[in-house]
Structure 1
Amino acid sequence: MNFLFVKGKELNKELGYQGRDIEAVLINPEQYLIASCDSCGAIGLKDFDVVKVSWQVTGRMTTRVALLEVLAVGAEPQIMTVAISNEPDPAGDEILKGVKEELACAGLSLSMAVSTEKNIPTQQTGLGISVIGTVAKDQLRIGTSQAGDEVYCLGLPKVGSELSNPEDPEIVQIKEIRKLLASPGIHDIIPVGSKGILTEAQQLASNAKRQLQIDQSCGLDLSKSAGPSTCLVFSASSAMTKDFISSNQNQLMMVKIGKMI
């Protein structure tokens, strides 16, 4: 079995990196292909949907998850797929409007392969989004955390009926992850999903072969699902964290949840 080591992490050349919600495959000596996907079911305007929101919201929220995962490891999205398990009109068209809105908010224009269900009537919304990106090997952000780094959660975990507005000021937007990526001293970044903050923060520590010392006074529900990645965890040196706080003009909630040891 052929293994590669990138910034202290062991990557299986044949199977990619399987410790997070992305896959990384070496496509040439200097570059990785990064793939991420997200699925959404029973959220929309169908009769049997559990959470009733517009299909545009469904499209936006699902797209953001796959984009955030690719961006978080330092990759730049290149292409995407949109698999809609519903009819082209109206569900498919409205979902695609949301997908394109989220891309526009991210400042991206990506080619996409789109499929809809044209044969069978459906009574529940179903959607799958995949995003493919590329990153230089020396820019891959996996396992870059250092001993002494502080670990923070940016944004609030929200899920299901708590979410109807993609512009909710309490949730992370793609512009925030770009700010983190551009800030020296910010190390690993992981969007939080259904596993909750604690699981993702522990994964962040594990990637760097460190342990996470939890700050018991953080006050967040560390086990709550963050749905479509409404928050993220990141590690950084304390000095760099202060610089980021001062530049966080929207005052999105940022809570220290622990420290790398």
Structure 2
Amino acid sequence: MRNARQIGNLVITSDNSGAIGEKELDVVHVPDDVTSYYSTRVTLLEQLANQAIPKEIILLNFTSEEAWGKYITGINRVFEEVQIPVPAISGSTETNMPTLQSGFGITMLGEKQRPLPNLSKLHWFTYGRPLVGEQLLQNVHQIANLQIIVEALKNQHITQVIPLGSKGLQKELEQLELIDVVDVENVPYDSTASAGPSTMVLIGVTAEQVANISKILQHDLHRLK
């Protein structure tokens, strides 16, 4: 949410991945479409956190010409999963210089749909687990389910979603100025651990929405306030 930029009614969000892909010297070895899937997931969650819907995508490919189609596949998979139309996609590929490791970047341009709620007046939960790299690949079932989140937002079962990143839960709460109104002492995981590509998110709900939240988000849900 704080990583986004807003110009008028335009919301700009972005994410990138380095040394994650199919090249021999990559640190994490996964198919290129998996790399773009998770970066797209993060960038879309940032759009949703800012009450926006993406309309355009800019793709930056530092890997190879062959990787472009695979990256598009991963992007499309995210939007098919949440049943949101795939935005127009443009961008560029580095073809002059061969690279030894994979590099991918994505930027979304979205239209703001409504103003942000007052965060301090919501009740907060964490959803998912903080996972990164190989740990994520081995525990995919524990990440926050993007399809369920989008459906819950559409149906007004939740009010706000905020993706978490590499600095972890506690740092995010501090920067959102929520650390003094929630309880992180009893969370069943390290509150400073990296949440990687937003494998864990913050969910904000009104008092009326609290009663049904555990029926909608059925696993790895923990109440903070």
Matches within 5 A, 1:1-261: 20-26=2-8, 32-89=9-66, 91-107=67-83, 108-136=85-113, 139-141=114-116, 144-147=118-121, 149-164=122-137, 168-182=140-154, 184=156, 186-205=158-177, 211-248=180-217, 251-256=218-223, 258-259=224-225
TM-score (norm 2): 0.89
Q: Quick one: distance in 1 between partners of 2:172 and 2:65?
A: 36
Amino acid at match of 1:152: F
**Percent identity among equivalent residues?**
29
Normalized per residue, the structure richer in strand is 1
Q: CA deviation at 1:132?
A: 0.9
**Superposed structure 1 runs of 4+ greater than 4 Å apart:** none
| Gapped regions of structure 2 (runs ≥ 5) | none
**What secondary structure is seen at the aligned counterpart in 2 of 1:255?**
strand
Give the alignment's TM-score, normalised by structure 1: 0.78
1:140-172 C-alpha deviation (Å, 9 max, x unpaired): 22x52244x43210111110112237x922112
3-state secondary structure, aligned to 1:114: strand
Counterpart residue identity of residue 150, structure 1? H
Checking the alignment, whether the CA contact within 8 Å between 1:79 and 1:111 is kept in structure 2 is: yes
Shift of 1:239: 4.2
| Bigger radius of gyration among the two | 1
SS of the equivalent of 1:79 reads strand
8 Å CA contact 1:144, 1:187 repeated in 2: no
Q: Give me the whole-angstrom Cα distance separating, in 1, the residues matched to 2:141 and 2:53.
A: 25
